[in-house]
Structure 1
Amino acid sequence: MKKVNIGGVPEHFNLAWYLTLKNGEYKAEDINLRWHDYHGGTGQMCKGLRNSDIDLAVILTEGIVKDIIDGNPSSIVQTYTQSPLIWGIHVAAESKFKTIDDIKGSRAAISRYGSGSHLMAFVNAKNNGWDLEKDLNFSVIENLDGAVEGLTNGNADYFMWEKFTTKPLVDDGIFKRISNCPSPWPCFMIAVRDEFLRNNEKEVKTILNIINGTTAEFKNIPSIDRTIANRYGQELEDVQEWLSITEWSQELIDEETLNKVQNQLLQLNIIPEKWAYKDLVHKI
């Protein structure tokens, strides 16, 4: 049986992987797929791919594009979630900050440099006409627990994370959400280490076929909204809203969309140059 390691954030977006693993669908195809939770998000997963700790990752688009260009020997093999990610912009519940204008020039909590929370801070700054050099400051907090501690203790001022994941913290009076910032592209990609892909393309194709079968029908799974609410500690109405705006994909990201991502990252000085489509993706 072929052992394959895959990483992703332990959030509702990835429930489809849990369901297919629980059903033994990979083992039925002689694949021992091992899921690894990455609480630190995209930056931590990029490191995992580089170090061969994982073979595949379900990873934020902007983060994996940046890291491949920075030398990560991996390729995008498919879009996982077609819809954008809705990033909530949060401050501590007792914070003096109440609007986007208030946090200009203050410290953004980020899980690590190169992470989604880091890169999207640039997108938010650009959206609001800030000076990208003067108005952005960062405090590394590693993960969501670190953000709670950092904002509460005053070690950072605001934190960008997926809106529905952080909603329970808003409901509990720990965070206050002052705005939202949708990513300007499909949010999650599936990336694979190039070395692993060269030797195991058949297994990767099988894995994609299995997960695609579940994501294509995900919204029709009986009581899926209640399952998500119970598993991830979310309110049922929040889950239903999330399901209504989220679309999965079973296709490879197209060249036009990937160029759009690169154009934005280049404009924000997050990447030094654009790469050819064929050098970022691998069509299976």
Structure 2
Amino acid sequence: MNRIRIAGVPEHFNFPWQLSIENRDFESQNIDLQWTNVPEGTGKLCQMLRNNETDLAVILTEGIIKDILAGNSSKIVQVYVKTPLIWGIHVAANSNFYTLNDLKNTRAAISRKGSGSELMAFVNAHNQNWPTKDLQFEIVNTIDGAVEALTHQKADYFMWERFMTKPLVDQGIFRRLDDCLTPWPSFVIVATDNLIKNQPHLIDTILEIINIQTSSFKKIPNITTTLADQFNQKKEDIEQWISRTEWSQEPITEEVLNNVQNQLVEVNIIDKKGTFAELALH
């Protein structure tokens, strides 16, 4: 049995992996796929790839591009979710912030440096024509840390996937001011250079299995009820999320990669662009 480690955020996007593991789809191909939930998100996942703590990761597109350009020895092997990620912009329910403009020159809670929550604060600032050099950050590690920071005014706003944060809005802990969409595919699957070099056939097999799962995922009977129960969501919220989410079964193209990099340069997230060969398996 070939042991392969994979990591990703404990969110509804990754439920197809859980199903395939539970169904023993990987075991049937002599692969022991060991999944690790990483609630801290992209910054932590990048660190795990760098430290050889995982072989594969399901990770935000913008975060891994930035980290590969900064020396992470990994490659994008496929787009996982091709639709944009919807980032809700949240404040404490009892805060005095009511519009996006109220958040200018305030402190953003982020999970860690290099995380999606940090990078999207730059995208949002760019969209609002705020000087990105004025952005201030408070590292909170997880969504629980963000609740603590906003509630006790250690930070002023927090950007996180809209639907996963919705229960906190429903409970009156957060108030959502607006949304900020990624102008690129939200998630990609990444492999370390070491895995690509030594066991490329296993990557191909894993992708074949997960692609079968994601291509039919929406047709699973009662999938919205299952997801609502699993992730403490209202069924109507899951129905809205699943109708807006499209998984991919395709490699990333040079055109998409260049488009993402052009936008990352524009919002000052990266200062140089990489080649297709540096960033993706082809």
Normalising by structure 2, what TM-score?
0.99
Whether 1:30 and 2:30 are equivalent positions in the alignment is: yes
Aligned AA for 1:251?
E
Task: For residue 133 of structure 1, give the secondary structure of its aligned residue in structure 2.
Answer: helix
Which residue number in structure 1 is paired with residue 85 of structure 2?
Answer: 85
> CA offset at residue 94 of structure 1?
0.5
Which runs of 5 or more structure 2 residues have no equivalent in the other structure?
Answer: none
Whether 1:218 and 2:217 are equivalent positions in the alignment is: yes
Which residue number in structure 2 is paired with residue 155 of structure 1?
Answer: 154
Whether 1:41 and 2:41 are equivalent positions in the alignment is: yes
**Structure 1 residues 211-220 or 262-271, which shifts more?**
262-271
State the distance in 2 between where 1:247 and 1:200 align.
Answer: 29
Aligned AA for 1:144?
I
Q: Deviations over 1:200-237 (max 9, x none)?
A: 10011100000000000010000000000000000000
Whether 1:251 and 2:250 are equivalent positions in the alignment is: yes
State the distance in 2 between where 1:269 and 1:81 align.
Answer: 24
Task: For residue 251 of structure 2, give the secondary structure of its aligned residue in structure 1.
Answer: coil
Which residue number in structure 2 is paired with residue 178 of structure 1?
Answer: 177
Which residue number in structure 2 is paired with residue 15 of structure 1?
Answer: 15
Identity among equivalent pairs (%): 54
Aligned AA for 2:104?
K
Aligned AA for 1:234?
Q
The RMSD of aligned alpha carbons is 0.6
Which residue number in structure 2 is paired with residue 279 of structure 1?
Answer: 278
Which residue number in structure 2 is paired with residue 70 of structure 1?
Answer: 70
Aligned AA for 1:141?
V
> CA offset at residue 197 of structure 1?
1.1
Which residue number in structure 1 is paired with residue 141 of structure 2?
Answer: 142
State the distance in 2 between where 1:167 and 1:272 align.
Answer: 34
> CA offset at residue 272 of structure 1?
2.3
Q: Deviations over 1:185-212 (max 9, x none)?
A: 0000000000111101001110000000
Which runs of 5 or more structure 1 residues have no equivalent in the other structure?
Answer: none
Which residue number in structure 1 is paired with residue 111 of structure 2?
Answer: 111
Aligned AA for 1:76?
I
Normalising by structure 1, what TM-score?
0.98
State the distance in 2 between where 1:178 and 1:271 align.
Answer: 27
Which residue number in structure 1 is paired with residue 167 of structure 2?
Answer: 168
State the distance in 1 between where 2:210 and 2:47 align.
Answer: 24
> CA offset at residue 269 of structure 1?
2.1
Which residue number in structure 1 is paired with residue 61 of structure 2?
Answer: 61
State the distance in 1 between where 2:249 and 2:260 align.
Answer: 19
State the distance in 1 between where 2:221 and 2:268 align.
Answer: 45
Which residue number in structure 1 is paired with residue 123 of structure 2?
Answer: 123
